[in-house]
């Protein structure tokens, strides 16, 4: 990898993580199309490369949230307990059942487009309507974490990055969800990256992560995650929710168009 690619990966990780860390998203969900289209990471290696980014970038935001005590509480434990086994199943599915780029892009579109639109609609509803929506039960949270962990293992985003928008849309405050979602993302990404490394020993094709690019993007995400977590109290929640929803929906449309070409 040349210096320009390394600097590009560093800058991409820094900018994306700074924007997404305040709401509990590591940024891998938005880094994935950059890796595919700009840096040319092949499938399915782009998935473990994204997980590697989460492993390197995660401690930045977690360090900041940990200093404020935001990582304590049952929500973090429930998310981690659900997503950890899910990400292993997702990694196996990604390698042996969904290796083709067309199917992969359709999967991204089918998940991101409705999630983004749903988050925007929930954000634009009156505050009173959002406040009256009951928070999910502990069993529901764990079940969601398991399902999202599987999708996260396939998509390479760790799981917590998907749970953040879902739980915030259900009425949980961002300040409570963000630290727990990032902790879940870090834990599941660590397990997911290790799973892909093992699967690369028994399967053919580009299964192992792009180590140099993943480290470069992760270094940028490490700095950006800390900055984003530090900025969280000063950023308007509604604007961030709308931004993340719009980006997710736009990426879903982009991949749907690419898959149909």
Q: What is the CA radius of gyration of the chain?
A: 17
- At residue 69, the pLDDT reads 82
- At residue 129, the pLDDT reads 47
Q: Is the pTM of this model over 0.85?
A: no
CA distance 170 to 77: 19
- At residue 127, the pLDDT reads 54
- At residue 104, the pLDDT reads 67
Domain boundaries, the chain: 3-259
- At residue 164, the pLDDT reads 77
- At residue 85, the pLDDT reads 86
- At residue 100, the pLDDT reads 60
- At residue 23, the pLDDT reads 82
CA distance 16 to 28: 8
- At residue 38, the pLDDT reads 85
pLDDT tens, N- to C-terminus, the chain (261 residues): 678 888 999 999 999 999 888 888 788 877 877 887 888 887 767 777 887 898 899 999 999 888 888 888 889 889 988 888 887 887 777 767 765 657 767 877 888 788 889 888 878 875 554 444 567 888 889 898 988 888 777 766 666 667 877 887 777 888 888 899 899 888 888 887 777 777 777 766 666 678 888 899 999 999 999 999 998 888 887 887 887 788 778 878 877 876 776
- At residue 128, the pLDDT reads 53
- At residue 224, the pLDDT reads 94
Cβ–Cβ under 8 Å, residues 50 and 39: no
The pairs formed by 127-134 with CB atoms below 8 angstroms and a separation of 24 or more are 130/171, 131/171, 133/170, 133/171, 134/171
What phi-psi label fits residue 27: left (phi over 0), alpha (psi between -120 and 50 degrees) or beta? left
């Amino acid at each position: 990898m040349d210096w320009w690619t390394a600097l590009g990966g560093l800058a991409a990780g820094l900018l994306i993580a700074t924007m997404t860390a305040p709401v509990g998203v590591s940024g891998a969900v938005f880094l994935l199309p950059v890796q595919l289209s700009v840096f040319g990471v092949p499938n399915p290696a782009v998935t473990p490369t994204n997980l590697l980014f989460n492993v390197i970038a995660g401690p930045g935001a977690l360090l900041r949230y940990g200093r404020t005590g935001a990582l304590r509480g049952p929500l973090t434990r429930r998310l981690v307990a659900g997503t950890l086994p899910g990400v292993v199943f997702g990694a196996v599915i990604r390698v042996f059942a969904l290796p083709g780029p067309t199917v992969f892009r359709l999967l991204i579109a089918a998940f991101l487009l409705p999630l983004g639109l749903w988050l925007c609609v929930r954000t634009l509803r009156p505050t009173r309507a959002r406040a009256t929506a009951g928070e999910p039960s502990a069993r529901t949270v764990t079940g969601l974490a398991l399902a999202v962990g599987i999708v996260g293992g396939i998509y390479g985003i760790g799981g917590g990055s998907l749970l953040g928008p879902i739980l915030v849309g259900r009425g949980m405050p961002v300040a409570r969800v963000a630290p727990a979602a990032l902790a879940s993302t870090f834990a599941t990404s660590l397990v997911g990256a290790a799973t892909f490394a093992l699967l690369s020993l028994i399967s053919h094709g580009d299964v192992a992560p792009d180590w140099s690019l993943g480290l470069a993007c992760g270094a940028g995400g490490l700095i950006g995650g800390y900055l984003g977590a530090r900025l969280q109290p000063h950023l308007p929640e509604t604007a961030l929710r709308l931004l993340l929803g719009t980006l997710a929906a736009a990426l879903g449309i982009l991949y749907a168009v690419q898959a149909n070409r």
